[in-house]
Amino acid sequence: MELMSHSSTFLLPTIPPSPTYALVVLNQSLPRFAPLLWKHAQLRLCADGGANRVYDDMPLLLPHENAFDVRKRYKPDVIKGDMDSIRKEVLEFYANMGTKIIDESDDQDTTDLHKCVAYICDWAPDLDKSNLCILVAGALGGRFDHEIGNINVLCRFSTVRIILISDDCLIHLLPRTHCHEIHIQPTIEGPHCGLIPIGMPSGSTTTTGLQWDLAETEMKFGGLISTSNIVKGEKITVQSDSDLLWTINIKKQ
């Protein structure tokens, strides 16, 4: 089985040249490290009301700078969605700055995040999808049905690396089609982590590098799931017969 490697180097000030990052901002408070994610990304999208968050919150994250200058510098490349949340003055501000506005109000069958991920995949049709990583800020917190919808996008685009990020933690999918190595950045994440079967029970999951490792363990809702586990080293391995969600806490700096 092919190996897939994971690392949260996007939370470091400097990063290796690979992978290629795209950033999606959703309509929740920006995490404190949003300017860092913005710097690392080659494409930046706001999903509808996410533009309000960039407009309102970026100046708050950079309080020693002029708010107008911050808004000019942190201009999204694209605003995409059904446009039911973005404020009129925010839409006009970014449109006048040259941001591409894509109104998909006729599509009510997919979420704004789904629309943005589809756009990014089309943006990079020739890019090896294993070299693409989509960072999603503001994907956690707020309404529970929105959170579940965002997790559903991980499953619908299971061949694309998508990482949901909040101030407190990150979540991404570990597809059952691969063995996984997770390289921990101990200065910025951990030690608390979890592995959660998604979509179907896991008949057999095996790990190394955790305080409570799993050994061909069955996991399912209504039974055992691995929450409040602890990373012991800087490399975790995971192999499972079902898709799993990996989550780890992000340290307060």
Within this chain, do residues 221 and 153 fall inside the same structural domain, yes or no?
Answer: no
Per-residue pLDDT of 41-98, as tens digits, reads 999 999 999 999 999 999 999 999 999 999 999 999 999 988 889 999 999 999 999 9
pTM comes to: 0.94
Is there a single domain that holds both residue 142 and residue 26? yes
C-alpha pair distances (Å), 90 with each of 77, 81, 195: 14, 14, 39
Domain boundary among 167, 190, 221: 167
* Tens-place pLDDT, residues 101-133: 998 877 677 888 999 999 998 887 665 666 899
DSSP string across 59-76: HHHSTTS-HHHHHHHS--
Which residues make beta-bridge pairs with 192? 230
Q: In this structure, is residue 236 part of a structural domain?
A: yes
Residue 240 · residue 202 · CB < 8 Å: yes
Residue 3 lies in a domain: no
Cα-based distances in Å from 53 to 49, 75, 112: 7, 12, 15
Do both 182 and 155 map to the same domain?
A: no
Query: Does a structural domain hold residue 8?
Result: no
Please check whether residue 9 lies inside any domain of the structure.
no
- pLDDT range class, residue 232, cuts 50, 70, 90: very high
| Residue at 142 is within a domain | yes
- Per residue in 190-218, pLDDT (tens digit) is 999 999 999 899 999 999 999 999 999 99
What is the enclosing helix (H) or strand (E) of 212? none
Q: List the domain range (segments joined by +) for residue 153.
A: 16-167
Tell whether 6 is covered by a domain. Answer: no
- The residues, any chain, with a CB within 8 Å of residue 212's CB and separated by 6 or more, are 226, 229, 230
